[in-house]
Amino acid sequence: MGTLWERLVLEAPEFFNSYNLLFLAEAAARTLGMTAIGCSIGFVAGLALAVLRGSRAATLAPARWLAVLYVETFRRIPFLVILFVVLYAIQPLFPDASLTAIATVAICLLSTAYLSEIVRAGLESVPRQQLEAAEVLNFGPARALFQVVLPQSWRVILPPAVAFAVMFIKDTALASHMGVVELTFAGKIFVERGFSPVLGFGAILVLYFALSWPLSRLGAYLEKRLAPARHP
Amino acid sequence: MPQLDIRDLHAHYGREPVLQGVSLSAERGEVVGLIGPSGSGKSTLLRALVGLTQPSAGEVLVDDRRIDYRDRASQRWLRERLAIVFQQYNLFQNMTVLRNVTIAPLEIQKRSKAEVEALATTLLDKVGMGHKRDAYPDELSGGQQQRVAIARALALRPEILLLDEVTSALDPERVNEVLDTIRALTREGITMLIVSHEMAFVREVSTRVVMMDHGRVVETGPPAQIFDTPREDRTRQFVSRILRH
């Protein structure tokens, strides 16, 4: 252990220079950014799919069927596979697309599938009679969704949705396989440049924790806050 | 010309016929009591009238205008004149009492804030819920929620009010507070269709009573006829069984 410790002490000043810190910060921002953008777009698209699946109009039946197909398919494909499929699908069409953008598209595709299931469970937790009451008061479908159903679904939607985002902060590590310079890739670079793996991966470990811990706390807070009462 | 005219109305749940040709009309200011055993189609009739259950045949006329239940504009027109109160109250759980009462008049009927809030205050006082205007539904008893639901329906200024077993889900001791509220309304000349198992109440407030069974109207008449000298055996059987309780 002594030798490892001596090596860490020796490397630390060089490791924690401003260039490396900036590099780490950028990688952390990329990890967080891809997750935030991917999950936000995924949430909106997932909401649209969930609403579509909950609709009863006969004309939407083919669209509903496609939505089910999409959700069930993407939830069964490993994220790494989606990443490479998206990479090889996009690159011929948009040769200039950045790897980060491509990875973000892959995150959107996957998070849409998962979040639509989370949103659907939330929407279905609201009794159908709430919608009927809105209907007879002449609420249109959109107004009923945003003013009656969705506000009552947050307590069911938010805890698992936040948990999903926390999980995805970690899963973006897979994007390092296609060369996106996020946290895990940054760790590999440090090791390749000769730093001790304990130092390189130790630093990104701390950063992963720093990114996901506040979000986990937020999830726990929301769960506690939203659980008992149905009103805000 | 009757204000509400229902002609040979049919409705199905899946393949099950629940309304098999109901004809019924109500003059302005009439209070029509609908009685009959469970599953006789009383509640379905009210749901069909507001368009929550699509009628499969027959027609409904309000103020001599035929309602097209497949047409949004026609339904909107209908629902500005016809309000329903549900057995389970169905107040919006995410809104305060006041917001429940004012949201549709303000945001859908686009009426003025001053007028709507004044009316809501009057109505909430009338149903005895003025002191709870800032409470959320889950902080209220069933009877209190139902009184708010009645105020919410009245805030639309409907011409016709449908009451669907509004006391069936309540604790026995809460029933009277809601019945008192409705009793007061019947004196104000608003047309009402009341589905209820409270026979004494139906007898007291109705101008006309309709006995239904198996999705059909069995007999229609003044309360005294239906409850004391029914013409149909089915009515006699039902009434005697209910009144013996």
Domain segments of chain A: what residues?
11-226
- Chain B residues whose CB is inside 8 A of the A137 CB are 79, 103-104, 108, 152, 156
Mutate to test the interface with B, among A126, A130, A138, A155 (most CBs of B within 10 A): A138
pLDDT of residue A43: 96
How many whole angstroms from its chain centre is CA B172? 20
pLDDT of residue B244: 65
pLDDT band per the 50, 70, 90 thresholds, residue B245 = low
Give CA–CA dist B204/B48, Å, rounded: 26
pLDDT above 90 for B107 = yes
pLDDT above 60 for B135 = yes
Contact A132 B95 (CB under 8 A): no
End-to-end CA distance of chain A: 54
In 3-state terms, what secondary structure has residue B4?
strand
Q: What is the mean pLDDT of residues A111-125?
A: 95
Q: Is B225 exposed, middle or buried (0-12, 13-18, 19+ CB in 10 A)?
A: middle
| Token pair of A92 as six digits | 């011929």
Give CA–CA dist B67/B119, Å, rounded: 28
* A 125-144 residues with CB < 8 A to B: 127, 129-130, 132-139, 143
In 3-state terms, what secondary structure has residue B160?
strand
- Residue B146: its H or E element: helix B142-155
Q: What is the mean pLDDT of residues B153-163?
A: 94
pLDDT of residue A10: 84
Of A63-67, A184-188, B72-76, B171-175, where does mean pLDDT reach its minimum? B171-175
Contact B79 A137 (CB under 8 A): yes
Q: What is the mean pLDDT of residues B108-117?
A: 95
- Chain A residues whose CB is inside 8 A of the B98 CB are none
Higher pLDDT, A111 or B241: A111
Q: What type of residue sits at position A48?
A: A
pLDDT of residue A228: 53
User: Which of B50, B104, B138 faces A230 most closely, judged by CB atoms?
Assistant: B138
Interface residue A59 vs chain B (CB under 8 A):
no
pLDDT of residue A223: 80
pLDDT of residue B101: 97
What is the CATH class of A11-226? mainly alpha
Higher pLDDT, A14 or A161: A161
Cα of B181 to nearest chain A Cα, Å: 21
Q: What is the mean pLDDT of residues A73-77?
A: 93
Of A67-71, B184-188, B234-238, where does mean pLDDT reach its minimum? B184-188
User: How many CB atoms neighbour CB B227 within 10 A?
Assistant: 23
Q: What is the mean pLDDT of residues A79-104?
A: 91
User: Are A217 and A38 spatial neighbours (Cβ–Cβ below 8 Å)?
Assistant: no
